[in-house]
Structure 1
């Protein structure tokens, strides 16, 4: 596949490296027989069909295996492993005991090190910094100046970017994102279409925290709504009252902004004014329905766990028949794992 030439350099780690030359075509990487590649310290840095191209460097006890490639000005060293069909290129660095494999790509000025892993179709680029035991997998993207450490994880189609920082045991999954200057830590689990941004600090001082649905977290007050678990029995009792007074002619619209819920009734305005509106205070729901009834609708907020659950069950912006929603909420509060934080299967 390649041979070591007599051309050598001393790199910025004061290591003597030798340039390689292809001894056969490698179509996957556009390499033709006789083409010169990058630099390695010793033969076992490059094994089993991998390639080091451009002026890339692989040294120490690092290995590039199988159909992987290290290209351009990238560096791989320490005891790092690049394998599968993984690709490290541009000015990226992978070192320590890090692993990049399957179809993962690390590029730009990104660094992956410590015991960190990138796999699946993950992409890490820009000035991203992945360290310690963090891992990025699935089709997740980590880029710009984002950092991940501890046992933090990003997977599925999650995105972590801006100057966001993930640490602890947190997981960002599905199409959730963390951006700008947000910090996510502890055992936080962000899923669904949740967006954490601004200067939000999520998970500080809390052992379990889940944020899902279409949550939008930017400030401390946004975070606090997810730290608390308000009693949803008043909401259930109020909806039962709405059901009774409208003879079942009501629906819930779920998946609204920040996991809010809209109650929509088919009832005369007088019934709404004389019965449903006053009952907001009667059932202790004023804090959650501060806007009261506007026409035939009332918006329920500050119960993100309920909104998240209904969003997961029924999808965004769906109109759910009221009695069906009530049955769903009864089942929800009776679950053994009520308010439990789901953990990814591969954690």
Structure 2
């Protein structure tokens, strides 16, 4: 045995807890035989094996198990059916509850909360007043400040959520993705170095952001989109049409966004042209791409209307040829 329950008791949340006392030295964590530890409800809360320890004024109760080399210290609390194992450290005023599992070398500090059916593993970090509810933080993922990760979402690799960001409804942050500020993500997947910040809201299940995409300002995306490349969307832009956005450009106004919608229509027009007119259509599109992007939003609108008219002319010419052929 490495510890025993002392006669020092404490009533906490309706449970009677007992302070522990080390019976052997635990040099890896600086504990010597005779040192007093924290509080547990029963011996089932803290393994007698390994270097697992409850220190200071920390508390473990209900069906919580602290095992392996896990350390619960300061004023941290673990209860319900939680598991702290391997080399995890839960410190300060952190709270672990529900069916949460903290594994690997994960750390929870500050006033961090991990609850529900959640998993922290590898070198994951949750700190300050961040919350992880029914979600996962893996690898070197971090949830900092007052960020919230909710409803089956996942932070992995080196992705970070911080500020007052809210990640919810099965969203995934992977690679080096960042979400911060007051941003909200709902049902969205982010990869590579993509970022969502400011007051941006991407509440569009099925959406995917790749590469170096940067969504900020007061942007609102409410329909599924696939955005990749070096695209930056800022200002008061609303995207409510299902579409793919790719390239290297900035959209900073609703007028520019409407112009982009028209690009989408024009692209579909090219695809719809018969094979005999595809070359003309693609040449026209390439020329338009090189020239229109340099224009002001107002001039882009006029230019795009003109391009659409030229595509309509191509389509009309094709239809007339087909009528002559049938005659």
Please give the TM-score of this superposition, normalised by the length of structure 2.
0.70
Q: Distance in 1 between matches of 2:248 and 2:29?
A: 52
1:89-128 alignment, distance < 5 Å:
89-128=91-130
Q: Secondary structure at the match of 2:19?
A: strand
Residues in 2 aligned to 1:172 and 1:63: alpha-carbon distance in whole angstroms: 29
Match of 1:241 in 2: none
Cα pair distance change 1:108/1:289, threshold 3 Å: farther
- Deviation of residue 208 (structure 1)? 1.4
Is the CA contact (8 Å cut-off) linking 1:280 and 1:292 kept in structure 2?
no
Which residue of structure 2 aligns with residue 212 of structure 1? Answer: 210
Structure 1 residues 98, 197: closer, same or farther in 2, change over 3 A?
same
| Structure 1 position 120, deviation (Å) | 0.6
* C-alpha separation in 2, matches of 1:79 and 1:229: 41
Deviations 1:95-136 (A, max 9, x none): 11111011101110001011111111000000011112x000
Matched with 2:197 is: 197
CA RMSD of aligned residues (A): 2.7
Q: Deviations over 1:215-261 (max 9, x none)?
A: 1111465848982689xxxxxxxxxxxxxxxxxxxxxxx86867744
Question: Are 2:210 and 2:227, in contact at CA under 8 Å, matched by a contact in 1?
Answer: no
Partner of residue 53 from structure 1, selected from 52, 55, 58: 55
2:39 aligns to what? 39
Q: Which stretch of the first structure deviates more once superposed, 218-227 or 108-117?
A: 218-227
| Structure of greater Rg | 2
Distance 1:29 1:286, change over 3 A: farther
Shift of 1:33: 1.6
Offset of residue 291 of structure 1: 3.6
**Which residue of 2 is the match for residue 173 of structure 1?**
174
Match of 2:150 in 1: 149
- 2:71 is matched with which residue? 69
Does the residue aligned with 1:283 lie in a helix, a strand or coil?
A: helix
* Structure-2 separation of matches of 1:60 and 1:39: 12
CA contact (8 A) 1:217 1:223 kept: no
Give distance in 2, aligned partners of 1:90 and 1:33: 24
Distance in 2 of aligned mates of 1:41 and 1:9: 9
Runs of 4+ off more than 3 Å: 219-226, 254-262, 284-293
Unaligned runs of 5+ in 1: 231-253, 263-278, 294-347
Q: In 2, are the aligned partners of 1:98 and 1:112 still within 8 Å (CA)?
A: yes
Higher RCO by CA contacts (8 Å cutoff, separation 6 or greater) = 1
1:1-347 equivalent positions in 2, closer than 5 A: 1-11=2-12, 13-47=13-47, 48-49=49-50, 50-132=52-134, 134-186=135-187, 188-202=188-202, 204=203, 206-219=204-217, 221=219, 223=221, 227=225, 260-261=247-248, 282-283=284-285, 286=288, 290-292=292-294
The C-alpha deviation readout for 1:165-221, integer Å capped at 9, x for no partner, is 1111110011101101111111x110111111011111x2x4411101111111465
Partner of 1:272: none
Aligned length: 249
